[in-house]
Amino acid sequence: MLEIFYKQKGNLVTTNDLISLDNLGYDDILWIDLTSPTGEEKRAIEDYLNTTLQSRAQAEEIESSSRYSESETTIFINTNFLIPGPDDYSMEAVSFILCEGIIVSIRHVPLKSFTDLQRRLLANYRTMPTGYHILIGILENRIDLDADMIELMSKEISQFSKRVGSNGTMGEELILDINQLQENTMLVRENIVDKQRMISNILKSDKFPRDVYTKLNVLIKDVNSLINHTNFSFERLEYLQNTVLGLINLEQNRIMKIFTFVSLLFMPPTVIASIYGMNVDLPIIGGMVDFAVIMMIMMFSVVTVSILFKRKKMLK
């Protein structure tokens, strides 16, 4: 599917008709947005702009030369857009081609940053008169969404901290939840670092209009602050995970202490019972009085061990 944004009689209109390209010049078109394009749509755009569109495999490559490159007339940019899910996040590769002041975007899923910008563009396209300005607008929307995701993750981390601080249930589920949040934080950081490299490459280029560089400088500062925030969030999660593991170890040690105490508590009575259970002649054996005396000795040994444990403060 494609959507062409072009100027007509002072207004910006859209069309999904490929045939309309035959009647439009480079100065008329601002943006060609391709969503899961067909082969026919890609070939039509390539013929119109006399360039080659990036494949999905090329968009997903991680080499610096594959993420950003320039020719005499065209700029190729590949980046990732983060898509939040109910539990985990996923990356979606997006390609941008800037040629003759026109921006071509290739994606395979709906993206909120695109939808919001298209609404703004149709309302007043003069604030974004070229494809270069549209790209900067998409980046501004995307970085704002990334900042919102980081803020939500910070709130989740705070909730986990309160859960740990309130002596909640410490177990496998909590550790897995923290681990999933760590994975999401790493994905967000990877996504933001990708934007940082992209903006840095744009700042080095001389093909962009001069009026966008002020916004780019602001964006690179925002990106750097988001990277610092994700680093702090990840360190906080590591500290939280270590705290949970430490509390679990303390609980396990407490349980083992109880088992050890019970074993030592009944060890003296067991020794006495074993001795008087032997089939040999032993003192004070012969009647109920002797049985009572032996039981008293066993109880005395239990009380003695308990007192010793309390004095040594081994029952806390």
Name which residue leads in pLDDT, 188 or 285: 188
Asked if residue 105 and residue 24 are part of one domain, the reply reads: yes
**In the structure encoding, which two tokens stand for residue 200, read together?**
């840095």
254: in domain: no
- The predicted model scores a pTM of 0.75
> Comparing C-alpha atoms, which of 197, 193, 190 is closest to residue 77?
197
With 80 as the cut, is the pLDDT of residue 305 above it?
Answer: no
**In the structure encoding, which two tokens stand for residue 109, read together?**
């899923």
Q: How many CA atoms lie within 13 A of 92 on its CB side?
A: 19
Q: Give the range among 113-122, 155-164, 179-188, 209-218 with minimum mean pLDDT.
A: 155-164
243: in domain: yes
Asked if residue 274 and residue 224 are part of one domain, the reply reads: no
Asked if residue 186 and residue 92 are part of one domain, the reply reads: yes
**In the structure encoding, which two tokens stand for residue 288, read together?**
């109920």
Mean pLDDT of 262-271: 76
Looking at 221, 248, 275, the residue that finishes a domain is 248
Report the CATH number that the domain containing residue 132 is assigned in CATH: 3.30.460.20
pLDDT of residue 171: 66
For 127, which DSSP code? Answer: G
66: in domain: yes
pLDDT of residue 96: 92
Res. 9 pLDDT band, cuts 50 70 90: confident
* Integer angstrom CA distances of residue 3 from 30, 44, 74: 11, 13, 20
Asked if residue 128 and residue 7 are part of one domain, the reply reads: yes
298: in domain: yes
Residue 85's CB is within 10 A of a number of other CB atoms, namely: 8
Q: Which tens digit of pLDDT belongs to each residue from 16-27?
A: 888 888 888 888
Res. 221 pLDDT band, cuts 50 70 90: very high
Using DSSP's 3-state secondary structure scheme, residue 32 falls into: strand
244: in domain: yes
Mean pLDDT of 35-64: 81
pLDDT of residue 135: 92
Res. 133 pLDDT band, cuts 50 70 90: very high
pLDDT > 70 fraction of the chain, expressed in percent and rounded = 89
Asked if residue 242 and residue 277 are part of one domain, the reply reads: no
**In the structure encoding, which two tokens stand for residue 194, read together?**
């990708």
Token look-up 């032997």 returns 278
**In the structure encoding, which two tokens stand for residue 29, read together?**
């078109």
Q: How many CA atoms lie within 13 A of 302 on its CB side?
A: 12
261: in domain: no
CB 103, CB 32: distance < 8 Å? yes
**What is the domain range of residue 38?**
2-248
Asked if residue 272 and residue 241 are part of one domain, the reply reads: no
